[in-house]
A and B are shown apart, each in its own frame.
Chain A
Amino acid sequence: MRRGVVSEAMDKMSDKYKLEALELLNQAEISEITNMKNGKSTRKIITVGLAASLTLALGVSVAAANGVFSMNVREADPSETITHIVQDYDEESDTIYEYEETVSDIENIITFEGPDSCYGIEFKLGYVPEVNIAPGGEFGDPYGWNSSFLQFETNNGGVNITVYYDPQFGENGCLFFNDSLYDIEESVMGEYDVYQFSDTYIVEFEDFDENPDHYDTYYTHYIIMHHPDGYIIVFSGSEDMDVLKQIAENLEIQHTDVVVETEDFSNHNFSVIRGLG
């Protein structure tokens, strides 16, 4: 490409998008956001969809003194491996134990950038999809406040909601995915960066002779990151993307006074959990 051709090409474009951009340049700057509180957060309850405007209106943001976080999504190198800690349950001793696992065949990796500390959050569903909760079958409270994890069964399977914080990932930690991803979309929702995609998980029937000996399970994932406050919420499950989106958009968030710091965590890599089980 000869030098200057891009500039010339931009100049030759029709007025349509040039005028659209001039609308922004004509706008007055919103500069008062820096007048946020610098101290610890007061509690605020906001719904995700309205977070951007309400944060401005309330004039509080826990990250005002900390800077801003960002999410980066990339395809994994075929030779890349990731070591993470897996939690499992031992029925005999009725205890949860941990072991280290090194994973290959990674498809996508999400990393995060930002300061080493942020404030914790709690969340509550503003929209509860049609549920069919078996007593004791859920983790967390689908009708109350949850701090880090909520799992519940729906008529189409189940939904997991997991909260992560940017400091949790340390310098090189990540969220990673092993399955082939498709229908990938990136978008912005107020102050949230949104990354959504689907994957197909092959479930093997090792213990059965009958055919078919495996079946494909369809999963959806909807990930949001709040840029100013550094928290990430992953919605995963066997529900349609629209349902996950509706849950995300109506989620209520409240900040706690708990400071989340990198040094609180020894494990910085996390495999995204799919559906129930």
Chain B
Amino acid sequence: MEDEMIINLFCERSEQAIRELSNKYGSLAQGVCENILRNSFDAEECVNDSLFTTWLAIPPRRPTSLKAYFVGIARNKAIDRFRYNTSARRDTFGDVAIDELEEYLQSYSSTEKECEAEELSLAIENFLGTLKKEDRTLFMCRYYYSTTVLDLANKMNKSEKYINLRLFRIREKLRKYLIKEELI
């Protein structure tokens, strides 16, 4: 079913909307959540929560891309859940991928400079526009969707070492870009 039709079902308050959304993007969202949580049960709960959140949000909201919107909600719920789990030491398998980037940039950041998320968001988006599609995709998969390096290596038919190397170079380029923009 087309996204537009699913959104219309939400607007009509038809519960079929949830089934269609779940059928179409449920497994994609589940994959993203599992990458973050490493736990299929927790991931499933996040996806179910996301279906409910979407139900509450549409209407009035009418997202341009239902796919990005729904997977984005699921991703945020998984990160919240991850941080809840790890802060209470309920689960300590490691950091979520975004922390890898955050800590890297943090170490170069001066205490005087405090940039806001909106400003940084725009800068990252502009920076991504300067990269090749492959590098952009790698960056987003790793730091937005928390895809593991092994998964990225398999999907791109490269070695893990290669993926790590590319991610390192992208982080370095981003760091230089943010310094140039005086954001860190």
Contacts and interface: CB of A to CB of B under 8 A. Distances in A.
The answer to whether A and B come from one shared complex is yes
Interface of A: 1-27, 29-31, 33, 52, 56, 67-68, 70, 72, 113, 186-188, 191, 227-228
For B28, B101, B155, B169, the residue with the greatest tally of chain A CB atoms inside 10 Å of its CB is B155
Contacts of B65: 15, 18-19
Given A12-B118, A227-B162, A18 B68 contact: yes
Given A15-B68, A17-B140, 14 more contacts: A1-B184, A4-B102, A5-B120, A6-B105, A6-B120, A9-B117, A9-B118, A9-B124, A15-B69, A29-B154, A29-B155, A31-B154, A56-B157, A67-B159
Contacts, number: 127
B106 A3 contact: yes
B145 interface: yes
A30 B124 contact: no
B98 to A, nearest CB: 5
B144 interface: yes
30 contacts: A1-B106, A1-B109, A1-B113, A1-B115, A3-B102, A4-B102, A5-B115, A6-B98, A7-B98, A8-B121, A9-B117, A10-B144, A11-B72, A11-B117, A12-B117, A17-B136, A18-B71, A19-B67, A20-B136, A20-B140, A22-B67, A22-B68, A22-B71, A24-B141, A24-B155, A29-B151, A29-B155, A30-B154, A70-B165, A228-B159
B161 A113 contact: yes
Identify whether the interface residues of B are mostly helix, strand, loop, or mixed: helix
Given A6-B98, A21-B140, A14 B125 contact: yes
B121 A21 contact: no
Given A17-B125, A18-B140, A20-B140, A70 B117 contact: no
B76 interface: yes
Interface string B54-89: 000000000011011101100010010000000000
Given A8-B117, A11-B76, A19-B68, A25 B158 contact: no
Interface of B: 28, 31-32, 64-65, 67-69, 71-72, 76, 79, 98, 101-102, 105-106, 109, 113-118, 120-121, 124-125, 128, 132-134, 136-137, 140-141, 143-145, 147, 151, 154-159, 161-162, 165-166, 169, 184
A186 B166 CA distance: 11
Nearest to A31: B154
Nearest to B151: A29
Contacts of B105: 1, 6
B169 A26 contact: no
A27 B155 contact: yes
A254 to B, nearest CB: 22
Contacts of B67: 19, 22
A187 B132 CA distance: 9
Contacts of B72: 11, 18
Contacts of A191: 158
Nearest to B99: A7
A1 to B, nearest CB: 4
Nearest to A23: B137
Contacts of A67: 159
A23 B68 CA distance: 11
Pick the most buried of A6, A11, A68: most chain B CB atoms within 10 A of its CB. A6
Contacts of A14: 125
B117 A21 contact: no
Most chain B CB neighbours (cut-off 10 Å) among A5, A11, A72: A5
A3 B98 CA distance: 11
Contact of A7 (B64, B79, B154): B79
Contacts of B144: 10, 13, 18, 21
A5 B117 CA distance: 5
A178 B106 CA distance: 34
B157 A30 contact: yes
Contacts of B134: 188
A71 to B, nearest CB: 8
